[in-house]
Amino acid sequence: MTCPILTVDLGALATNWRNLAAMNSGETAAVVKADAYGLGAARIARKLARDGVRRFFVALAEEGLALRRALGDGIEICVFSGHMEGDAPIIAEARLVPMLNSIDQMLRHVETLPGHPFGIQLDSGMNRLGMEVGEWEALREIALEQSPRVVMSHLACADEPDHPMNAQQLRAFREMTDGIAAPRSLSATGGILLGRDYHFDLARPGIGLYGGLPFVDAQPVAQLDIPVIQIRDVAPGETVGYGNSWTAEAPTRVATIAAGYADGIIRAMGPEGHVYAGETRCKILGRISMDLIGIEVTACPRAPESVELLGRHQSIDTLADWAGTIGYEILTSLGNRYARRYVGG
Ligand SMILES: *Cc1c(COP(=O)(O)O)cnc(C)c1O
Is 242 catalytic? The answer is: yes
- Residue from 60, 80, 330, 331 to probe ligand 1 pocket by mutation (most atoms less than 8 Å from CB): 80
Is 210 catalytic? The answer is: no
- Return the pLDDT at 1: 63
Omega into 114 within 30° of 0, i.e. cis? no
- CA 195 to centroid of ligand 1, rounded, Å: 17
Per-residue pLDDT tens digits for 87-137: 999 999 999 999 999 999 999 999 999 999 999 999 999 999 999 999 999
Per-residue pLDDT tens digits for 278-320: 999 999 999 999 999 999 999 999 999 999 999 999 999 999 9
Angle at 270 between CA 237 and CA 327, to 5 degrees: 165
Helix, strand, coil: what percent of the chain each, to 5? 35, 25, 40
- Return the pLDDT at 2: 79
Q: Is 84 annotated as a binding residue?
A: no
DSSP string, 242-262: GGG-EE-SS-EEEEEES--GG
DSSP state of 205: -
Q: Is 128 annotated as a binding residue?
A: yes
Confirm if 101 and 129 have CB atoms less than 8 A apart. yes
- Return the pLDDT at 238: 98
β-strand 55-58 against 76-79: which pairing, if any?
parallel
Residue nearest to atom 3 of ligand 1 (CA): 188
If residue 34 lies in a helix (H) or strand (E), which one and from where to where?
helix 33-37
Confirm if 40 and 63 have CB atoms less than 8 A apart. no
β-strand 306-310 against 151-152: which pairing, if any?
unpaired
Q: Which of 114, 29, 133, 130 is nearest to 77 (CA)?
A: 29
3-class state of residue 113 by DSSP: coil
DSSP state of 181: S
Q: Which atom of ligand 1 is nearest to the CA of 80?
A: 13
- CA 163 to centroid of ligand 1, rounded, Å: 18
- Return the pLDDT at 336: 85
Active-site residue identified among 33, 47, 261, 328: 33
DSSP state of 97: E
Confirm if 105 and 85 have CB atoms less than 8 A apart. no
- CA 80 to centroid of ligand 1, rounded, Å: 9
Q: Which of 334, 222, 74 is nearest to 56 (CA)?
A: 74
Instruction: Give the chain's residues under pLDDT 50.
Output: none
- CA 296 to centroid of ligand 1, rounded, Å: 38
State the virtual CA torsion across 40, 44, 49, 52 in degrees, nearest 10: -150
- Global pTM value: 0.97
Q: How far apart are CA 291 and CA 217, in angstroms?
A: 33
Confirm if 57 and 185 have CB atoms less than 8 A apart. no
Q: Which residues line ligand 1 (CB under 6 A)?
A: 31, 33, 80, 154, 188-190, 204-208
Residue nearest to atom 12 of ligand 1 (CA): 154
Active-site residue identified among 37, 47, 210, 242: 242
Domains, the chain, in order of start with CATH, read: 25-204 (3.20.20.10), 222-343 (2.40.37.10)
